[in-house]
């Protein structure tokens, strides 16, 4: 079990490249199941979750050719198995994204129910309700979703909650359904838009992209495409917070500032000087301590829940008192318990954290519990007095490409300890 060892107190400086977005790569790789000819997907991040998705597709019979830059060619014409087994789904909930494409293209799917995780129960009832409305016969038994459909048909679906993968699953299923599907209260995250653009490049007919109502007119078949994944806005935000916390000055390349307006607004409020271009963001916080800032998470375009843990770490060392309200997941403050062990003054009251900033955190052995929580512990280690050791960093490897290499490029003193 690898660990990360971080020596705190060094202001970050320099520039790094941002990778492709994990949460766009996963649905777009699943979407290759829909196409009758090969697809080529570029700018895919080197992440454990991507490896898991490729393992899952490969076991179904998708032929994958991958080059050294992780450009992926996928051909789903010899798919022989329409199943996503528990042993893979339990390591990556996003495996549920094969459900819609399998049903739409092959009329059959046998997908393990993705269990809950550290941040919440993570049900998929809205995925199932939508596919049922489209004519699928779905049984949920023995921990599996078993679904069949001669051919899905269009439906008007109102999703009770804004669900990112729920919107993605139903949008993918609707591309090959007979007739028109209307998805109301659809998610508007940039990764949902990227998937929609990819599906349209395959021949799908989708209107309302970027809005909360999607109109999808089913077609007979989809063709393979060449598609490049958009930059990862959460990786971008995480490194910006790292620079802000350490009083540094960094430049991020191959990113897109328009993907994270709410985050950039909050970084400006804490006192950061930010300049941007079409594909870069520069943040200068030299000689400054962050001002405390209140955060309220909500679906896009509001402040993203995936940046909440990072701002909990920032507020832990900021000047002042702040509240952080988590409205998307029911248990997404696990990182607060570990930050408290580093000296953070955090009080939890239901879905709110009240944080009184302290001048310095103390290094401590801490444990990662989920992807973004582990990122917040890395950020805390960058500013803590002494050497912080973070255990269970497999959580980090799921969502951050070569994190110790990128942070080292920015001057951090960080190394991976292999056990
Ligand atoms: C996606 O998860 C992301 N994962 C998450 O990122 C992200 O935190 C989340 O969206 C919110 O932005 C991927 O895209 C692979 P939801 P998803 O369905 O789709 C409830 C990361 O760090 N809900 O939008 O699983 C659900 O419980 C990960 O990269 C239902 O009740 O999240 C939650 O409270 C973590 N029934 C809320 O909706 C359903 O059928 C939003 O969940 C579906 C969702």
pLDDT tens track for 41-52 = 999 999 999 999
* 286 pLDDT more than 90: yes
User: Residue 120 CA: which ligand 1 atom is closest?
Assistant: 27
Q: List pLDDT tens digits, range 340-363.
A: 999 999 999 999 999 999 999 999
Compute, in degrees rounded to 10, the torsion defined by CA atoms 80, 84, 87, 91. 130
Per-residue pLDDT, 115: 73
Q: Ligand 1 within 6 A of 97 CB?
A: no
The protein residue with its alpha carbon nearest to ligand 1, atom 1, reads: 164
Q: Is the model's pTM score more than 0.85?
A: yes
Distance from the alpha carbon of residue 298 to the mean position of ligand 1, in angstroms: 11
Helix (H, G, I), strand (E, B) or coil at 400: coil
Per-residue pLDDT, 100: 98
Question: Cβ neighbours of residue 68 under 8 Å, at least 6 residues apart?
Answer: none
Q: List pLDDT tens digits, range 88-136.
A: 998 899 999 999 999 999 999 999 998 777 788 889 999 999 999 999 9
* 365 pLDDT more than 80: yes
Residues 382 and 245 sit within 8 Å (Cβ to Cβ): yes
Q: Which of 19, 259, 328, 403 to mutate to test the pocket of ligand 1 (most atoms within 8 A of CB)?
A: 328
Per-residue pLDDT, 122: 83
Average pLDDT, the chain: 96
Per-residue pLDDT, 204: 98
What does the H/E/C string look like for 8-60?
A: CCCCCEEEEECCECHHHHHHHHHHHHHECCCEEEECCCCCHHHHHHHHHHHHH
Give the distance, in angstroms, between the CA of residue 314 and the centroid of all CA atoms in the same chain. 20
* 28 pLDDT more than 80: yes
Residues 345 and 356 sit within 8 Å (Cβ to Cβ): yes
Q: Ligand 1 within 6 A of 305 CB?
A: yes
Distance CA 364, CA 118 (A): 21
From 117, 219, 348, 358, active-site residue: 117
The protein residue with its alpha carbon nearest to ligand 1, atom 27, reads: 122
**153 - beta bridge partners?**
178
Compute, in degrees rounded to 10, the torsion defined by CA atoms 211, 28, 282, 15. 180
Catalytic residue flag (residue 117): yes
pLDDT bucket at 69, cuts 50 / 70 / 90: confident
pLDDT bucket at 167, cuts 50 / 70 / 90: very high
Helix (H, G, I), strand (E, B) or coil at 254: coil
DSSP characters over 278-306:
SSEEEEE-TT-PPBP--EEB-STTSB-GG
């Amino acid at each position: 079990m690898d660990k990360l060892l971080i020596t705190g107190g060094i202001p970050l400086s320099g520039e790094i490249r941002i990778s492709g977005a994990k949460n766009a790569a996963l649905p777009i790789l699943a979407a290759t199941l829909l196409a009758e000819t090969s697809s080529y997907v570029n700018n895919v991040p080197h992440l454990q979750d991507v490896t898991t998705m490729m393992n899952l597709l490969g076991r179904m019979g998708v032929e994958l050719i991958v080059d050294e830059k992780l450009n992926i060619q996928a051909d789903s014409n010899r798919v022989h198995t329409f199943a996503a087994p528990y042993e893979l789904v339990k390591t990556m909930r996003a495996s549920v994204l094969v459900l819609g494409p399998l049903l739409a293209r092959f009329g059959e799917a046998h997908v393990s129910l993705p269990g809950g995780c550290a941040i919440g129960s993570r049900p998929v009832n809205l995925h199932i309700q939508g596919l049922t409305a489209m004519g699928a016969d779905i049984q949920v038994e023995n921990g599996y979703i078993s679904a069949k459909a001669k051919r899905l048909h269009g439906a008007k679906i109102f999703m009770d909650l804004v669900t990112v993968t729920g919107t993605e699953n139903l949008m993918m299923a609707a591309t090959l359904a007979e007739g028109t599907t209307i998805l109301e209260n659809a998610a508007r995250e940039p990764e949902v838009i990227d998937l929609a653009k990819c599906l349209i490049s395959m021949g799908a007919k989708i209107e309302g992209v970027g809005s909360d109502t999607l109109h999808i007119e089913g077609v007979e078949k989809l063709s393979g495409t060449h598609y490049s994944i958009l930059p990862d806005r959460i990786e971008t935000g995480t490194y910006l917070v790292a620079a802000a916390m350490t009083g540094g000055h960094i430049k991020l390349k191959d990113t897109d500032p328009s993907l994270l307006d709410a985050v950039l607004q909050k970084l400006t409020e804490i006192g950061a000087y930010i300049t941007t271009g079409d594909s870069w963001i520069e943040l200068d916080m030299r000689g400054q301590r962050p001002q405390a800032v209140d955060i309220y998470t909500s679906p896009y375009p509001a402040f993203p829940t995936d940046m909440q843990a990072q701002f909990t770490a920032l507020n832990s060392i900021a000047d002042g008192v702040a509240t952080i309200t988590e409205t998307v997941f029911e248990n997404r403050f696990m990182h607060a318990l570990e930050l408290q062990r580093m000296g953070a003054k955090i009080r939890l009251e239901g879905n709110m954290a009240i944080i009184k900033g302290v001048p310095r955190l103390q290094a401590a052995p801490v444990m990662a519990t989920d992807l973004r929580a582990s990122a917040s512990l890395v950020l805390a280690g960058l500013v803590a007095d002494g050497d912080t050791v973070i255990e269970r960093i497999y959580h980090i490897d799921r969502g951050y490409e070569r994190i110790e290499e990128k942070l080292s490029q920015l001057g951090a003193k960080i190394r991976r300890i292999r056990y």
